[in-house]
Amino acid sequence: MVCETIFGNFEFMKMVRYTLVLLSALFFLTTCQKNTLSKIPSIFFLGVSPDTLYPKVDDSCFIVFSLTDGDGDIGNSSTSQVWYRDRRADTGAFISSVFPAINPAVEDPKKGLTGTCTFYPTPGPIPRPDSIHTTLADTVTYEVYITDRAGHVSNHIITSPIILLP
């Protein structure tokens, strides 16, 4: 009878130990989340301000967009840039602008990078030189995309219209 109690408790303790190990493993597996963000940057247009400019008085605007990059390799390099073009000309070339500096302490390839970018297109929008647009007004929209340090190209976004008053 003493033997049964000892061996019975032993089997019970063995089962409890296996259960605790299994529960611990499940806990650690569920708390370890993998980064599911794409390594290709993604941007989303948030706004442009102001939306009405007076270019003759050296007025300028800024474009704001959100961004996500799965490996966080955006900024702090000549290969990571903001690209934009004036959409009034179908063949207009993209202009590159250095990506705003990002604190290296927030870079984590395991977590990726999510944030907001604000940049000033330079030169600012210029009205077309014909008599209609210099007398009345002109409207411009920009097409924007970014590149990360690995050379990945994001999706393209289009800004809302910017009115250029004479």
pLDDT tens, residue by residue, 147-165: 988 899 999 999 999 988 8
The total number of structural domains that make up the chain: 2
Same-domain status, 147 and 80? yes
User: Are residues 95 and 15 located together in one domain of the fold?
Assistant: no
pLDDT of residue 13: 59
Q: Give the angle subtended at the CA of 46 by the CAs of 129 and 93, to the nearest 5°.
A: 40
Output the six-digit token pair for 19.
């259960």
Per-residue pLDDT tens over the stretch 21-69: 555 555 554 455 555 678 899 999 999 988 888 877 777 888 999 999 8
Structural domain harbouring 5:
1-32
Whether 143 is in a domain gets the answer: yes
In a domain, 37, yes or no: no
Q: Are residues 108 and 142 in the same domain?
A: yes
pTM summary value: 0.73
CB 163 within 8 A of CB 137: yes
Residue 127 to residues 104, 133, 137, 164: CA-CA distances in angstroms?
39, 6, 8, 6
The Cα–Cα gap between 164 and 126 comes to 8
Residues 25, 49: one domain? no
Q: Does 115 reside within a domain?
A: yes
Q: What is the pLDDT of residue 124?
A: 72
Indicate whether 67 and 106 sit together in one domain: yes
Statement to judge: residues 82 and 157 lie in one domain: yes
Q: Does 6 share its domain with 50?
A: no
**3-state per-residue secondary structure call for 62-114:** EEEEEEEECCCCCCCCCCCEEEEEECCCCCCCCEEEECCCCCHHHCCCCCCEE
For residues 61 and 139, membership in a common domain is answered with yes
